Amino acid sequence: MPRAIVIRTTEPVEGGPVNVAAVEQIDPAMLGDDPVLVEVHYSGINYKDGLALTGRPGIVRSTPLIGGADLVGTVLQSADPRWQAGDQVILNGTGMTETRHGGFSELARVPGDFLVRLPDGLSEARAAALGTAGYTAALCVLRLKAAAVSTEAPVVVTGATGGVGSIAVPLLAASGYRVAAVTGRVEEHGDYLRGLGASEVLDRSEFTEPGRPLQKARFAGGIDTVGGHVLANLLAQTQYDGTVAACGLAGSSALPATVMPFILRNVTLAGVDSVQTLMSRRQAAWELLATTLDMQVLDSLTTTVTLDDTIAAAQRLMAGQSHGRIVVDVRA
């Protein structure tokens, strides 16, 4: 019987139902009837996974559900002609850990539509270390590249010690950009971020308070994972023709801004979704990661846990006690 982390809803208590995660042996029938059966080797803990595994509301929409927004492994069987037994594959998003069973399982049944072939030269463990966070960071960098964001001024990354930020910083640096990394703990994380390739480290407090609709134009563009006043101030400080890629709401889903950066500085706010992204963009993102990112940098910010240790690692992540990327070795 395969093992998996299953999220279940407990009996209603005061304040409403509570989702609880636990490692279980599961009946393979629970996996459903999608056409591709994958032996999962690795997964990873993203912010979304942290929310789901610690019972936070708003992520898991139906239970029981196997968690894990990512999986990396080998195809065992396939009724989809695009995939054959022995293919090494990556799957990110597509509703996993929300409405679809995910990668915290020794076996997974998945649709073939969003599978990506493991790029040449990229190990399974490193692909899992990148995961949805790295793939999302790559999608953001591709948006900045497509917009021809200037390399003459810094590009800012908010939430820089988080999963997306920790990949976005070195990926931007390797792509020729000067990176200004934003963190709430400059003294604690400054050396870490400079080691990833940041040319400067900025205190998050500079961006958290309401600011003027237009401020000093400091940045050629940016990648924002936070939302709220942080994103509003970033837009207000973006130079003419700059682009900000927004992919997260770790701080707030609100955008307390005005249209002035858009109509007076020609600033673009580009939304980035990692769940339903077109296959061509998925492949481009993974190729960018495989060919551009310094894998030694990736290794330096990666820790590995077993399936049994995954829930505790998610709790540490949500408590702000870890940064970088957490790989789950599903077979260990």
* Confidence class for position 16, pLDDT limits 50, 70, 90: low
pLDDT at 163: 87
Domain endpoint, select from 271, 289, 320: 271
pLDDT at 13: 67
Task: Please state, for a pLDDT cut of 90, what percent of the chain lies above it.
Answer: 87
Domain endpoint, select from 271, 291, 317: 271
**What's the whole-number mean pLDDT along residues 126-134?**
95
* Poorest-pLDDT segment among 6-15, 212-221, 306-315: 6-15
- How confident is the model over 233-277, as pLDDT tens digits? 999 999 999 999 999 998 999 999 999 999 999 999 999 998 888
| Residue 151 within a domain | yes
Q: Is the pLDDT of residue 25 over 80?
A: yes
Query: How many domains does the chain contain in total?
Result: 2
CA distances (Å), origin 280, targets 37, 114, 115, 139, 140: 23, 10, 11, 11, 15
**What's the whole-number mean pLDDT along residues 87-91?**
97
| Residue 283 within a domain | no
CATH number at residue 14: 3.90.180.10
| Residue 124 three-state SS | helix
**Residues 323, 255 share a domain:** no
Task: Please state, for a pLDDT cut of 70, what percent of the chain lies above it.
Answer: 98
Q: Residue 168 sits in which domain range?
A: 134-271
**Residues 105, 149 share a domain:** no
Between 17 and 97, the more confident residue is: 97
Sign of CA dihedral 193, 199, 203, 206: negative
**Residues 152, 262 share a domain:** yes
**What's the whole-number mean pLDDT along residues 27-49?**
95
**Residues 152, 38 share a domain:** no
pLDDT at 276: 84
Q: What is the model's pTM?
A: 0.90
**What's the whole-number mean pLDDT along residues 25-36?**
96
| Residue 56 within a domain | yes
Q: Is the pLDDT of residue 11 over 80?
A: no
**Residues 85, 175 share a domain:** no
| Residue 321 within a domain | yes
pLDDT at 8: 95
| Residue 246 within a domain | yes
**Residues 153, 65 share a domain:** no
Contacts with 67 (C-beta within 8 Å, 6 or more apart), sequence order: 5, 6, 7, 21, 49, 52, 53, 60, 97, 102, 104
**Residues 95, 168 share a domain:** no
Terminal Cα-to-Cα distance of the chain (whole angstroms): 15
**Residues 259, 145 share a domain:** yes
| Residue 287 within a domain | no
* Confidence class for position 58, pLDDT limits 50, 70, 90: confident
**Residues 261, 141 share a domain:** yes
Contact 196, 216 (CB under 8 A): no
- How confident is the model over 107-126, as pLDDT tens digits? 999 999 999 999 999 999 99
Domain endpoint, select from 230, 255, 271: 271
Nearest to 75 by CA among 63, 67, 84, 65: 84
- How confident is the model over 173-203, as pLDDT tens digits? 999 999 999 999 898 899 999 999 999 999 9
**What's the whole-number mean pLDDT along residues 67-79?**
97
* Confidence class for position 47, pLDDT limits 50, 70, 90: confident
| Residue 293 within a domain | no
| Residue 181 within a domain | yes
**What's the whole-number mean pLDDT along residues 207-219?**
97
**Residues 247, 311 share a domain:** no
CA distances (Å), origin 105, targets 31, 41, 118: 10, 9, 19
pLDDT at 322: 84
**Residues 262, 153 share a domain:** yes
CATH number at residue 154: 3.40.50.720
**Residues 243, 147 share a domain:** yes
Contacts with 41 (C-beta within 8 Å, 6 or more apart), sequence order: 72, 73, 74, 124, 128, 329, 330, 331
